[in-house]
Amino acid sequence: MSRVGKKPVPVPAGVTTTVVGQLVSVKGAKGELKFNVPEEVTVVFGEGQIKVDPRDESKRARAMWGMSRAMINNLVTGVTKGYEKKLEITGVGYRAAIAGKDLQLALGFSHDVNYPVPAGVTITTPKPTEIVVVGADKRQVGQVAAEIRAYRGPEPYKGKGVKYAGEYIFRKEGKKK
């Protein structure tokens, strides 16, 4: 039995939800998100909540049950509160700035890295060494943050590079004489 799937997803006031077949659409203050629920799961909307149930007791149906409930909950949270990921840049001369619709990163390469900001995501740089990625879709916000981090991940000797805020970097000892 899924412990996650048993709980219904509460829909707060100001959020409109429509369930048409296997497509769940959620619209709120931060935007509109959709999720196509797998065929192994049924979705019912009523009384201010979304209920998810498996069609049978197969292993795949039970797996999709909890996942579908979590994805629908992420949609509702995204259109009400939104999601945010913070990145920190460490290193001499490493910095970030918004240039038009691109994020311009100076990460120690011979050239600046220009990252085009995708639709549905807002990127801000409160400080030159800090990047904040904000959006309604949790998956998209995480993917954008991961792509920015992948340009120059943190290295273990000096800790230089782009890391998530609060991420622990395992440090190694350097060469000994």
Domain ranges of the chain: 3-80, 83-164
Residue type, 135: G
Which helix (H) or strand (E) element contains residue 87?
strand 83-90
Alpha-carbon distances of 15 from 29, 30, 47, 137, rounded to whole Å: 8, 10, 13, 15
Beta strands per DSSP E along 94-160: 95-99, 102-106, 113-116, 121-124, 130-135
Residue 131 contacts residue 96 (beta carbons within 8 Å) = yes
* pTM for the model: 0.88
* Structure tokens that stand for 141 in this block: 């916000």
**pLDDT in 10s for each residue of the chain, 177 residues:** 668 888 999 999 889 999 998 899 999 999 899 999 999 999 998 888 999 999 998 999 999 999 999 999 999 999 999 999 999 999 999 999 999 899 999 999 999 999 999 999 999 999 999 999 999 999 999 999 999 999 999 999 998 999 999 999 999 998 888
CATH for the stretch 3-80: 3.90.930.12
Closest CA to 76 of 119, 123, 26, 116: 26
Confirm whether 3-80 and 83-164 share one CATH topology: yes
Domain 83-164: homologous superfamily in CATH: Ribosomal protein L6 (3.90.930.12)
Distance between CA atoms of 117 and 99, rounded to whole angstroms? 10
